[in-house]
Structure 1
Amino acid sequence: MLRCSFVRLRNVISTIVSVRFSRKCPGLTGKPTRRGAAQPSLRKIVIADEVKRVFSENDMVVVLQHHGLTVAQWDSVRYDLADADITVKDYPNRVACKALEDTKYKHMLPLFRSTTAVAFCKKPSVKHLLTALNSHPKLLLIGGKVDDTLMSQDGLKQYAKLPSSHHLQSELSGIMQSPMWTLTHLMQSNQLRLTSLLAQLCTEGTSRH
């Protein structure tokens, strides 16, 4: 009986000490304080700021789902995408969603499920991205944004089929130059014809005299 009383007394003392310690040092217990939920760690804040910069400073940002890639396979992916200045980074889904929930990219939050990574670049290079992903079957394109336009997987594939901006500019330049070339050609032809007629009239006038 004496031993049971001693055990009970020890448990009571341990409980009192734990309660007093948690009141004095609430941040060390890992639980929310009375004022609200626990504050995010500095690491999560830094990652969230980086996610916001990635989405705001790059014209192309896509979400990729990956399954069991080794370190060597990740190195191969980064090497293949580096040719088009595309960067690939892995962000925690919860942190990425928290960073984007109050932005214009909040509709992309459903893409951050399972194991994901983000590929991004300053200028859209969707065609090069799809070509590189063909060599890496463990990476699946889910969706993303191009020039602030949200696109699904099919939308990105259709976008990749469009001609490049350089090609469109060349065609537009050709269309604009075509009427000018026609007008110049007609003016030169008329000028030559007028010159020929004047020369013929001068010849006829000289022969009559």
Structure 2
Amino acid sequence: MENPRPEKVAVVDEVRQRFAESDAALLTEYRGLDVTAMGELRRALRAAGGDYKIYKNTLVRFATRDLGLEIDEMLTGPTAIAFVPRAGEGDPVMVAKALRDFARGHPALVLKGGVLGDRILTEAEARGLAEVAPREELLAKLAGLMAAPMQQFAGLLQAVPQKFAYALAALVEAGGPAGAPAGEPGAGAETSIDTTEPAGAADATPAPEPATTEGAGDDTTTPADEAGAHPDDAVAEPATARAEPATEES
């Protein structure tokens, strides 16, 4: 601009500052909207955290060029810009949804594109921004993804003592670890002393030897055999020897 008027310079500075301090700026064409519709649209955007402003295309073009934003193709026809201040509570997605919802009842409102951060958005990309989940929902999903591994880890820590207790109970019920020596505690067998004799021990008892008469021959016969009587009929009286006192002859 050659010799711009101070008011124009002030507007350019204002536009430049708004772009620099905003997370997003969505450009629209509002041709055909009356005052009532414009007031309704401003209220809807304000509720979403946006600020709807109308500037001359020439002044916007000077301001954005200073910031390195090439949006000259969008600056045709009557243009109004929905800013999403970085310091506010606005969400570019919610502002884009508000524009989309308003345009459904007012086809005269046309979304031409915009700026998200330092990125230029085409008309299709600006429309697609309205289909993205809100920031709160995205943050909740992100928190859920971050919390899921921690929950799984906590579940594993809780499962370890439980599984150990189950294994220990099964081990006790089974009678101890496999390969434990018999008779030791935990081997599942009571300590006992085997008192049974080994097989064949009774046969090892020596038999009594037959009585023999020293110096008798093969033809030795007993008195019972000579008398021809039953052995029970013969009663042997014990032989007694009486010692007579010795007398001396006078």
Q: If the length of structure 1 is used for normalisation, what is the TM-score?
A: 0.71
Tell me the distance in 1 between the aligned counterparts of 2:18 and 2:143.
34
Amino acid at match of 2:17: R
Show structure 1 runs of 5+ residues with no match. Answer: 1-36
Distance 1:183 1:102, change over 3 A: closer
Letter of the structure 2 residue corresponding to residue 118 of structure 1: I
Matched, 1:154 2:117: no
The 8 Å contact of residues 88 and 119 in structure 1, kept in 2 or not, is answered as yes
Deviation per residue, 1:61-83 (Å, 9 max, x gap): 11111223322222122122221
In structure 2, do the counterparts of structure 1 residues 101 and 196 end up closer, same or farther at CA, with 3 Å as the change threshold?
Answer: closer
Relative contact order (alpha carbons < 8 A, sep ≥ 6): 1 or 2 greater? 1
CA distance in 1, matches of 2:83, 2:56: 16
3-state SS of paired residue (2:105): coil
In the alignment, which residue of structure 2 is the partner of 1:130? 100
TM-score (norm 2): 0.61
Secondary structure, in 3 states, of the residue corresponding to 1:63?
Answer: strand
Distance 2:100 2:18 in 1: 20
CA distance 1:184–1:142, change in 2 (3 Å): same
The residue matched to 2:71 in structure 1 has which SS? Answer: helix
- Superposed, which structure 2 residues align to 1:103-142 within 5 Å? 103-105=67-69, 107-122=70-85, 123-124=91-92, 125-142=95-112
- Normalized per residue, which structure has more helix? 1
Partner of residue 96, structure 1:
60
Unaligned runs of 5+ in 2: 86-90, 176-184, 192-250
Aligned residues: 172
Asked whether the 8 Å contact 1:66–1:116 carries over to 2, the reply is yes
- Equivalents in 2 of 1:177, 1:85: separation in Å? 30
Contact 1:81 1:132 in 2 (8 A): no
The equivalences for 1:158-173 within 5 A come to: 158-173=128-143
- Taking only the aligned residue pairs, the percentage that are identical comes to 26
CA deviations over 1:53-104 (Å, ceiling 9, x no partner):
1111111111111223322222122122221122111111111112222322
How far the C-alpha of 1:136 sits from its partner, in A, is: 2.3
Confirm or deny: 8 A CA contact 1:142 1:152 kept in the other structure: yes
Instruction: Give the alignment's Cα RMSD to 1 decimal.
Output: 2.4
C-alpha spacing 1:174/1:77, structure 2 compared with 1 (3 Å): closer
1:74 to 2:38 alignment: yes
CA change 1:192–1:56 in 2 (3 A) is: same
